[in-house]
Amino acid sequence: MELFKCLFGVVTVVLLACNVAAQQQWMLPLQKHHAHLPSQLPQQQSNVSPPAAPFDKCKVEEGEKIQCGIHDITAEQCGDLNCCFDGRQCYYGKAVTVQCTRDGQFVVVVARDATLPQIDVDSISLLETNGPSCTPVDFTSAFAIFQFPVTACGTTMTEEEGYIVYENHMSSSYEVGIGHKGSVTRDSHFELLFQCRYSGATVEAFVVEVNDVPPPVPVAGLGPLRVELKLGNGQCHSKGCLEEEAAYTSFYAPEDYPITKVLREPIYVQVNILDRSDPNIILNLEHCWATSTPSPHSLPQWDLLVDGCPYHDDRYLTKVVPVDSFSGLLYPTHYKRYVFKMFAFVDPNTYTVQKDTVFIHCATAVCYPSSTTSCEQSCHRQRRAVAMEISPSQNALVSSGRLVLTKPRAPNTKSKK
C-alpha cells in the first residue's frame, strides 16, 4: 500500500492512559512484515515546545523497526519527523506519533511500549470504525499504524483563531476477569486525543496532558499464633541473578507504605510465623485474597490462593515460590511465599476501574505432621487431606498495608518547534 507522499506537520502526543489492567488480552504472535511510512519530509514544523524524550525511546529491536521517511533521509531530517536515526535508517520509536499530511490525512503510529504495561496494539481502534479507512492499515507485534482522511472516522472540525482544527480519538479495549466476589483487570486502557491544525501553509500540533492517578504498614496478626505478611523489594545487581530469588532478600519497611505499583508488576509476598522455634511445625496458607479496603471481609474481593494453591480462574495465575533448606532460613517450614501480578478492581457492570488500592489478606494455619499424614498442600488433588485438627489458637489472619495503583508510564512525547 502506498501511503501519503508528503508530510505537512509532525507531533507526538501524550496519551490519556487510565489505570485499567488485567491482561486477558493476549499479545499477538510476532509478525515479520514491516510497514513503510512516510515517504517525504514535513514542509512545516510544529510550533509546540518539545518535552524531554525518555532515554529508551529509540531502543527498538532491529526486526521491529518501521521505516520513517525516505531511504536517504539525514539524521536532522529524521529528527524533524520526530523519529529515530541509527546511522543507517530513520524509524519510529517507542512512542505515539501523530502526523498530518499535505493532502489532509492523519497518520497515527502507536508503539506497543508506549505505556507500561505494554498495550496490545491489536486492541486499539478509533471511536468510529464504519469506514474502510478507519481500521489499521498495518500492524506488527510492536506497532499499530493508522492512516485516514481528517474528515473521516468521526473526526470533528472546528475553527479556532485562524486555524481549521481536526480532532479525533482512539482507545484500546481490555479484558476483565470476573470472579464470584469481584472483578479485576490487568490491561492498560489506552486513550488518545489528537489534532491537526491547518492554517494556510502551516500546521500546528496539540499535545494532550496526562491525568495522573494519585500517588501511594504491613500488619502482623495478633494472638497465640503470630504471623506477619511482608512484601519483597530486593533487586538483582549481578549477571545471572534470578529476580524471584533476589526479591526476598529485602522487604518494604513500615515507613515505605503505601507502596505504588503499576499494572502487572510482580508483587512478592512472604508470610511467616513469628517467635516459634519448633522445626516440626509447618505454616500453611489456607486462603489468600485481595480487597480494595483494609477490611478482609469487604467487597469486591479477588482470590489469589485457595487451599494454598493458585486461584485457577485467574488467567495470570499466582505462583507459589518454594521455600526449602537452600533458602538460608533457620526454619524454612515457617515461611510461605508467592507472587502475583498487580491488578485493579473493576465495576462488574460498567467494566471501569472502581478502586486503585489493593490490600492483601491471608488466612493461615499451623500444621503438625504425623507419621500417617502430611501437611503438604498438593495442588494436583481434588481435595487436600488434613493432617490433624487445628485449634482456633493456631489460626491467624494477616493483612498487608496499602498498595496503590499508579499511572502506567505515558508514551514518549516530543514535538518539534
Task: Check whether residue 251 and residue 356 sit in a common domain.
Answer: yes
> For the chain, how big is the Rg over CA atoms in Å?
26
Q: What is the pLDDT of residues 276-287, one digit of tens each?
A: 888 888 899 999
Enter the C-alpha cell of residue 165: 482544527
Task: Check whether residue 13 and residue 159 sit in a common domain.
Answer: yes
Q: Which of 140, 172, 205 is the last residue of a domain?
A: 205
Q: What is the pLDDT of residues 309-346, one digit of tens each?
A: 999 999 899 999 999 888 889 899 999 999 999 999 99
Task: Check whether residue 134 and residue 270 sit in a common domain.
Answer: no
> 41 exposed, middle or buried (CB, 10 Å; 0-12, 13-18, 19+)?
middle
Domain presence at residue 24: yes
Domain presence at residue 415: no
- pTM for the full model? 0.58
Q: How far is 410 from 16, CA to CA, in rounded Å?
A: 8
Task: Check whether residue 157 and residue 253 sit in a common domain.
Answer: no
* Amino acid 114: pLDDT: 81
Task: Check whether residue 42 and residue 153 sit in a common domain.
Answer: yes
Domain presence at residue 68: yes
Q: What is the pLDDT of residues 138-182, one digit of tens each?
A: 888 899 999 998 888 888 888 887 788 888 888 887 777 777 777
Task: Check whether residue 271 and residue 162 sit in a common domain.
Answer: no
* Amino acid 344: pLDDT: 92
Domain presence at residue 214: no
Domain count, the chain: 2
* Amino acid 293: pLDDT: 93
Domain presence at residue 272: yes
pLDDT band for position 116 (cuts 50, 70, 90): confident
Q: Report the amino acid identity of residue 263.
A: L
The whole domain housing 331 covers 226-401
Q: What is the pLDDT of residues 220-258, one digit of tens each?
A: 343 467 899 999 999 888 888 889 899 999 999 989 999
The CATH number assigned to the domain holding 175 equals 2.60.40.3210
Task: Check whether residue 240 and residue 181 sit in a common domain.
Answer: no
The CATH number assigned to the domain holding 293 equals 2.60.40.4100
Domain presence at residue 367: yes
Task: Check whether residue 231 and residue 146 sit in a common domain.
Answer: no
Q: Which of 205, 237, 270 is the last residue of a domain?
A: 205
Domain presence at residue 180: yes
Task: Check whether residue 126 and residue 43 sit in a common domain.
Answer: yes
Domain presence at residue 39: yes
Task: Check whether residue 162 and residue 251 sit in a common domain.
Answer: no
Task: Check whether residue 194 and residue 235 sit in a common domain.
Answer: no
* Amino acid 207: pLDDT: 39
Task: Check whether residue 20 and residue 151 sit in a common domain.
Answer: yes
